[in-house]
Amino acid sequence: MPQTRISSPLPARELAVDGLACERDERVLFSGLSLSLKPGELLLVEGQNGAGKTSLLRILCGLAEPVEGEVSWNGRAIHSQREDYAAELFYLGHLPGVKLDLSPEENLGFVRSLRNRPSREQILAALKAVGLYGYEDQPARTLSAGQRRRVALAGLCLSDAPLWILDEPFTALDKAGVAWLQDCLSSHLERGGLIVMTTHQALELGRQVRSLAL
Amino acid sequence: MSAGLMHAFVAVLRRDLLLALRRRGDSLNPLLFFVLAVTLFPLGIGPEPQRLAEVAPGVLWVAALLATLLSLDSLFRADHEDGALEQLMLMPQPLSVLVLAKILAHWLVSGLPLLLMSPLLGVVLHLPEASFGALFLGLALGTPVLSLVGAIGAALTVGLRRGGMLLSLLVLPLYVPVLIFGAGAVAQAGMGLSYAGQLAMLGALLALSLSLAPLACAAALRVTEN
């Protein structure tokens, strides 16, 4: 698949987590979690099902509140700069947020129009990059699970956010899709981006990956 | 509003209207309910114009209120279930502005058709000629309040599997003032009295809910998605 990514360097940012604790139904999932992530680093969150991987990612995004501790972005707590932080974050959760009644082009166009407002050509190029060329006008309802996933992932091509938080991004992707996404991740790291992700897929990025076991 | 924020507002509004257009069957439900409920009354209580005209203000307003209530549950539910709500919450714009766009789309799809249909249903119920103005103006001010206030309930119950019942219980008490002033205006007009006071109250309720409901909705959504 062709690469359409923009390759200008990203602003240097730092994600720091201090003394984070998370509970679910009175059960402590993790506590005293501290770490920091610098440009060009990828943090792989590992753990068995139910270990709190998704909960951690949602806390890092600011969607959920930790019981204790603080997440900071560039030295400031994320809840004190919600909108600035949101502008520098690309989050892909379990549910891709793809509207089944809209076409891939409309879906991607909407999400991106609230961010960096790419042109129609850029949107079509991004859809082409994820292998949805020829499907851009069909309702997402008629696409397969992997293709719906690709609609959301196409946003990565258009994103200029330094921080990517991806929850199981490889789910439902075929081999070509996996290779494309690995490429996409490597070039983001090369540009000085930060990635926090969970996956059960073996990563081959040609660089050191930090891992965090929950 | 800055240009970027306005652009985002319009983008959300356009998306929701487009979705409503693609699911026309669901979108027409409130209007269908409104028409059916009102047209059943002449069959139920008899065709005497005198008696129908007497109950018309209350019937029209109660039917409009229940029709709105019917459509509320879906306001945030679809976005919640497919993850689009999470994405909205992580947008670099204030959530309250994006929510206001969603509420406006909801009103355009469910409230506005009721408003436009109401004069015709007034005729069905033999509403006195003098009351039509009050009915139309009252609904024009009142139905946006119903959407705005209802959205708070929808935001609070979006995380619950069967939130519909709770939503009605939460929202109905807050609808009571709108119902009283709305139906009151129509009844006053029918007796040839001034209904400016009732309309002023509805206008005040609209101003209040327009300024506070989006903020309350945004806060409620952040709590339920937590």
Over 50: is that where the pLDDT of A39 sits?
yes
Q: Determine the pLDDT at residue B216.
A: 97
Q: Determine the pLDDT at residue A203.
A: 82
pLDDT category at A172 given cuts 50, 70, 90 is confident
Q: Determine the pLDDT at residue B31.
A: 95
B18 and A102 in contact by Cβ < 8 A? yes
Taking contacts as CB-CB distances below 8 angstroms, the residues of chain A near B91 are 86, 114-115
* Residue of A152, A143, A150, A151 lying closest to A173 (CA atoms): A150
A64 and B226 in contact by Cβ < 8 A? yes
B226 and A113 in contact by Cβ < 8 A? no
Taking contacts as CB-CB distances below 8 angstroms, the residues of chain A near B90 are 61-63, 86, 89, 91
Most B CBs within 10 Å, among A25, A88, A110, A114, to test the B interface: A114
Over 90: is that where the pLDDT of B25 sits?
no
Backbone angles phi, psi at B5, to 5 degrees: -70, -40
Distance of CA B30 to the CA centre of its chain: 10
Q: Determine the pLDDT at residue B3.
A: 76
Over 70: is that where the pLDDT of B191 sits?
yes
Q: Determine the pLDDT at residue B161.
A: 81
Q: Decide if B92 touches A, using CB distance below 8 A.
A: yes
A79-129 per-position pLDDT tens digit: 899 889 999 999 998 888 899 999 999 999 898 888 888 888 889 998 998
CB B78 within 8 A of CB B121: no
Over 90: is that where the pLDDT of B181 sits?
yes
Which residue in chain A has the smallest CA separation from B18?
A102
A86 and B81 in contact by Cβ < 8 A? no
Q: DSSP assignment, residue A24?
A: E
For residue A8, count CB atoms less than 10 angstroms from its CB and return exposed for 0-12, middle for 13-18, buried for 19 or more. exposed
B192-212 per-position pLDDT tens digit: 999 999 999 999 999 999 999
* Residue of A125, A131, A122, A124 lying closest to A149 (CA atoms): A131
What per-residue string of b and e applies to A153-184 under the rule 16 or more CB within 10 Å gives b? bbbbbbbbbbbbbbbbbbeebeeebbebbbeb
Q: Determine the pLDDT at residue A6.
A: 54
Segment 18-77 of chain B within 8 Å of chain A by CB: 18-19, 22-23
Return all residues near A134 (Cβ < 8 A) that are at least 6 apart.
none
pLDDT category at A1 given cuts 50, 70, 90 is very low
**Could you tell me the pTM of the whole model?**
0.92
**Terminal Cα-to-Cα distance of chain A (whole angstroms):** 35
Percent above pLDDT 90 for chain A: 38
Helix, strand, or coil (residue A29): strand
| DSSP codes joined into one string, A164-185 | EEEESTTTT--HHHHHHHHHHH
Q: Determine the pLDDT at residue B35.
A: 96
| DSSP codes joined into one string, A35-95 | EEE-TT-EEEEE--TTSSHHHHHHHHHTSS--SEEEEEETTEEGGGSHHHHHHTEEEE-SS
CB B3 within 8 A of CB A113: no
pLDDT category at B182 given cuts 50, 70, 90 is very high
pLDDT category at B1 given cuts 50, 70, 90 is low
Q: What is the mean pLDDT of residues B32-39?
A: 95
C-alpha distance from A206 to closest chain B C-alpha (Å): 31
Q: What domain range is B30 assigned to?
A: 3-225
CB A102 within 8 A of CB A140: yes
List A190's β-bridge partners, or say none: none
Segment 81-140 of chain A within 8 Å of chain B by CB: 83-84, 86-87, 89, 91, 93-102, 106, 110-111, 113-115, 117, 139
Instruction: Count how many domains chain B has.
Output: 1
Identity of the highest mean pLDDT range in A168-177, B108-117, B153-162 = B108-117
Among the partner residues B18, B86, B93, nearest to A63 by beta-carbon distance: B86
Q: Decide if A54 touches B, using CB distance below 8 A.
A: no
CB A126 within 8 A of CB A108: yes
- Mean residue pLDDT across chain B: 93
Taking contacts as CB-CB distances below 8 angstroms, the residues of chain B near A139 are 22
Over 90: is that where the pLDDT of B226 sits?
no
Q: What is the mean pLDDT of residues A150-176?
A: 90
* Residue of A6, A37, A33 lying closest to A22 (CA atoms): A33
A93 and B86 in contact by Cβ < 8 A? yes
Taking contacts as CB-CB distances below 8 angstroms, the residues of chain B near A101 are 19, 22-23
Q: What is the mean pLDDT of residues A10-22?
A: 90
CB B221 within 8 A of CB B94: no
B46-89 per-position pLDDT tens digit: 889 999 999 999 999 999 999 999 899 889 999 999 999 999 99
C-alpha distance from A113 to closest chain B C-alpha (Å): 7
Q: Decide if B89 touches A, using CB distance below 8 A.
A: yes
B82 and A83 in contact by Cβ < 8 A? no
| CA A160 – CA A7 distance, rounded (Å) | 10
Segment 147-206 of chain A within 8 Å of chain B by CB: none
Over 70: is that where the pLDDT of A5 sits?
no
ipTM: 0.88
Return all residues near B53 (Cβ < 8 A) that are at least 6 apart.
B125, B126, B127, B128, B190
Q: Determine the pLDDT at residue A210.
A: 86
Q: Decide if B101 touches A, using CB distance below 8 A.
A: no
Q: What tokens were used for B141?
A: 């001010």
Higher-confidence residue: A181 or A2? A181
Distance of CA A12 to the CA centre of its chain: 18
What per-residue string of b and e applies to A26-52 under the rule 16 or more CB within 10 Å gives b? eeebbeebeeebebbbbbbbeeeeebb
Which residue in chain B has the smallest CA separation from A22?
B226
Least confident of A110-119, A143-152, B104-113, B136-145: A110-119
Taking contacts as CB-CB distances below 8 angstroms, the residues of chain B near A117 are 7
A94 and B89 in contact by Cβ < 8 A? no
Q: What tokens were used for B194?
A: 């001034």
A114 and B12 in contact by Cβ < 8 A? yes
Over 60: is that where the pLDDT of A2 sits?
no
Over 50: is that where the pLDDT of A51 sits?
yes
Q: Determine the pLDDT at residue B209.
A: 97
Return all residues near A49 (Cβ < 8 A) that are at least 6 apart.
none
Secondary structure (H, E, C), chain B: CCHHHHHHHHHHHHHHHHHHHHCHHHHCHHHHHHHHHHHHHHHHHCCCHHHHHHHHHHHHHHHHHHHHHHHHCHHHHHHHHHCHHHHHHCCCCCHHHHHHHHHHHHHHHHHHHHHHHHHHHHHHCCCCHHHHHHHHHHHHHHHHHHHHHHHHHHHHHCCCCCCHHHHHHHHHHHHHHHHHHHHHHHHHHHCCCCCHHHHHHHHHHHHHHHHHHHHHHHHHHHHHHC
B8 and A113 in contact by Cβ < 8 A? yes
CB B18 within 8 A of CB A102: yes
